[in-house]
Amino acid sequence: MNRSLLLSLSLLLTVGSIACSKKPASGQQTAETKSPKKEALGNFNADSAFSYIERQLEFGPRVPGSAGHRACAAWLEDKLRQSNPDTVIVQRGEVRAYTGAKLPIVNLMASYNRGNPNRLLLVAHWDTRPWADSDPDPANHNKALPGANDGGSGVGVLLETARNLAAKKPEFGVDILLVDAEDYGRSGGFNDDGDSWCLGTQYFLDHLPYREGILPRYAIVLDMVGGRDAHFAKEYISHTNAREYTDRIWKEAAALGMSERFPDRVTAGIVDDHMFLNEAGIPAVDIVECDNSHTSSFPPYWHTMQDDITNIDRHTLGDVGNLILTLVYSPKL
């Protein structure tokens, strides 16, 4: 997944907010003013999303150019076509990694209500990192990750979203985009060549499959959205470049009773697909487990061989999926 690029703590403090409460005067009665919890829209099945992650893992690491990568690409295309979209666009191309290697990539996009110019773009990367370079065992540093959370979870949520869209179309246009070669970058984030990451998204933006002058209203990127006890604070670049949509998403989460899962605070900025979408003029929000209020910005199994199915939690998948479907089935974009 994405590489850390922790912004300075002082910078985060300038954008943070502190909630205050008043004590009632002695003897004063207070009324409960909490609104009832909003019901999620759609029919998100966390078990189904979990099974999609398991299936991806059965292909092995999904490193561009590998047999597992080719087999998984074919399966993903088939699953998207089963969701009855107006069209499935398959972008096949070649990108050059920072290592000099030429990588064969496959981006897949399923479009619903294709003729509607008001569009929401949902994005997840489906490739896995070719090196477990954060593993505590140096012997694993040249092994490819299983990629259950980092690569598998976002795809699982979006495939389950597509299953819902097969049964009920949204009021506006929705594009589900699975991008390749996100995780082939050089360690170091912004400090060491941020452009080496998210190669599939960069290719997508160079070959946009939209009519001239038409871009999605905004995008949501899902990355590492299946971890146990995961919390999703507002990522800094999302908060800065797509604040209207970031605030809306977190307010929707609160209305659904997910304030603990989606705390209303700003955390570190990271290099991820949303950064390049924002630079291209598509406001993009990253829902990603990256919170510098903990000892580590990413989960302890990030970029290690422990990124396997044992670290995936159906409750986390369900919360993220219910939020996404509620946004998808809202009457207005």
What string of DSSP letters covers 36-77? PPPPPPS---HHHHHHHHHHHHHT----TTSHHHHHHHHHHH
Flag whether 333 is in a domain: no
Predicted confidence (pLDDT) at residue 181 exceeds the cutoff of 90: yes
Predicted confidence (pLDDT) at residue 7 exceeds the cutoff of 80: no
Predicted confidence (pLDDT) at residue 285 exceeds the cutoff of 50: yes
Flag whether 89 is in a domain: yes
Q: State which amino acid sits at residue 137.
A: D
Closest CA to 333 of 219, 172, 122: 172
Tell me what pLDDT residue 19 has: 28
Flag whether 7 is in a domain: no
Flag whether 282 is in a domain: yes
Tell me what pLDDT residue 28 has: 37
For residue 232, the enclosing domain spans: 38-328
Closest CA to 314 of 159, 178, 153: 153
Flag whether 99 is in a domain: yes
Flag whether 18 is in a domain: no
Flag whether 19 is in a domain: no
Q: How far is CA 244 from the centre of its chain?
A: 18
Query: HSE (CB half, 13 Å, CA atoms) of 24?
Result: 7
Average pLDDT, stretch 230-244?
97
Please state whether beta strands 87-96 and 102-112 pair in parallel, antiparallel, or not at all (unpaired).
antiparallel
Predicted confidence (pLDDT) at residue 17 exceeds the cutoff of 80: no
Lowest mean pLDDT among 31-45, 149-163, 252-266: 31-45
Q: How confident is the model at residue 35 (pLDDT cuts 50, 70, 90)?
A: low
Predicted confidence (pLDDT) at residue 5 exceeds the cutoff of 70: no
Predicted confidence (pLDDT) at residue 31 exceeds the cutoff of 90: no
Predicted confidence (pLDDT) at residue 234 exceeds the cutoff of 60: yes
Distances (CA, A) of 148 to 103, 144, 174, 227: 22, 12, 25, 9
Flag whether 17 is in a domain: no
Q: How confident is the model at residue 21 (pLDDT cuts 50, 70, 90)?
A: very low
CA distance 279 to 281: 6
Number of structural domains (the chain) is 1
Which CATH number fits the domain that encloses residue 168? 3.40.630.10
Predicted confidence (pLDDT) at residue 14 exceeds the cutoff of 50: no
Predicted confidence (pLDDT) at residue 252 exceeds the cutoff of 70: yes
**Rounded mean pLDDT of the chain?**
89
CA gyration radius, the chain: 20
Tell me what pLDDT residue 180 has: 98
**CB 180 within 8 Å of CB 66:** no
Percent share of the chain, pLDDT over 90: 80
CA distance 57 to 39: 32
Predicted confidence (pLDDT) at residue 208 exceeds the cutoff of 60: yes
**CB 284 within 8 Å of CB 16:** no
**CB 199 within 8 Å of CB 95:** yes
Predicted confidence (pLDDT) at residue 116 exceeds the cutoff of 50: yes
pLDDT 10s digits, 63-86: 999 999 999 999 999 999 999 999
Give the residue carrying structure tokens 């699953």: 79
Beta pairing partners, 174? 112, 120
Percent share of the chain, pLDDT over 70: 86
Tell me what pLDDT residue 329 has: 97
